[in-house]
Amino acid sequence: MPLEYLRAIERDALPILECVPENVDKLRVLNAAGMVEVQLAPVDAPVQTARVLCVTGLGCATLRAPSVPRSSPRPSLRIPEPIDSD
């Protein structure tokens, strides 16, 4: 997940060079979201790499924000009907 990867690179000494394709893909997502600044290899390059320059203020703020549970129950919009006792 990109946010877990963001948390990991936030603790690293930057800049770093990433060569693992799955992580380069995560960096593309994080870069598009404005959470990191990276230098990406051209898409048609034989080896996909990314040099992480920094985690942006938005990236840091996202990591510090309280997280919302994934399976939080939605409030019900139904009104319970009364049960007839006759």
pLDDT in tens, 25-59: 999 999 999 999 999 999 899 999 999 999 999 99
Domain that holds residue 60: 2-64
- pTM of the complete model: 0.73
Q: Does residue 19 sit within a domain?
A: yes
**Integer Cα distance of 59 and 3 in angstroms:** 9
* Number of domains within the chain: 1
Q: Does residue 23 sit within a domain?
A: yes
Single out the residue of 51, 63, 49 nearest to residue 5, CA to CA.
63
Q: Does residue 73 sit within a domain?
A: no
pLDDT over 70 for what percent of the chain?
Answer: 78
**Integer Cα distance of 26 and 30 in angstroms:** 6
Would you call the peptide bond into 15 cis, given omega within 30 degrees of 0 as the criterion? yes
Would you place residue 66 in the very low, low, confident or very high pLDDT band (cuts 50, 70, 90)?
A: confident
